[in-house]
Amino acid sequence: MRTFGNQMKFILTGCRAGGGQPLPLVLALLTLLPALFACAPAIEPVAGLRGPTRSVRAGRELASYNFLKPATWDLFDVEGGIARAALSGNALVLSVDAGLGYLTAGNNVTHRDVLVNATLRQTEGLLGNGFGLLCRADKLGNGYWFLLSSRGEYSIQVASAVREEPFPLVPWRYHSVIRPGLQANDLRVVCAENYLALLINDVFVAEAFDDEFREGELAVALGAGERRASASFDDIRVRAATVTGRR
């Protein structure tokens, strides 16, 4: 087990994943460890919705993960499975017991300006569990969080050491484009310069601007509510991104 790849991060804003219980000692200690295509067309506004204020161009491919093998990703099994990151069915699968907050696993590669595509699916647990991608993350779960819930909600949050709780750059909101329950959803995440954007199933849903983090790892995240939860992450593609236009 690569212990520096295990982090629990309580997200107390919006869709709450944990019940506030203290972490088991081994997990609590882990949270204290130092150091959580060809070129694509620009993201275009969606009819009927306020569109993005930036244009984003995808450049060269930096990484592609189909999880036939772990590559550089963290894999672990804590205390007999209360928190786990493992390969299963050509996907990276996170599993975490109820009430332990958010579990993250990173790819151990430093990125700066990127556009990331991934397919996500909750595979176990009650409706409402949060899961998603992090960009510019560190090993404590600090960075930018792009989250879905299996009830059809989304949020963009930033977590850092100077805040007791993650700050919602985009608060939890419902969107009909999100496939609820145990259905798969395709995410496209932009972290380029100070621009953050989220597309779900090819629909632009949110953007934000923040200057706190300039580089860090890509990570996946999952939180459990009242019951144990699992989620799968596959077809992850990382490309260089360039932002144009003015805010």
Residue-level pLDDT at 2: 22
- SS3 labels along the chain: CCHHHCEEECCCCCCCCCCCCCCCHHHHHHHCCCCCCCCCCCCCCCCCCCCCCCEEEEEEEEEEECCCCCCCCCCEEECCCCEEEEEECCEEEEEECCCCCEEEEECCCCECCEEEEEEEEEEECCCCCEEEEEEEECCCCCEEEEEEECCCEEEEEEECCCCCCCEEEEEEEECCCCCCCCCCEEEEEEEECCEEEEEECCEEEEEEECCCCCCEEEEEEEECCCCCEEEEEEEEEEEEEEEECCC
| Domain span at 131 | 3-36+40-244
How confident is the model over 61-117, as pLDDT tens digits?
A: 999 999 998 889 999 999 889 999 999 999 999 999 998 889 999 999 999 999 999
Residue 205 maps to which CATH number?
2.60.120.560
Report how many domains make up the chain: 1
Residue with the bigger pLDDT between 38 and 210: it is: 210
8-22, 65-79, 113-127, 186-200: lowest mean pLDDT where? 8-22
How confident is the model over 108-157, as pLDDT tens digits?
A: 999 999 999 999 999 999 999 999 999 999 999 999 999 999 999 999 99
pTM above 0.95, yes or no: no
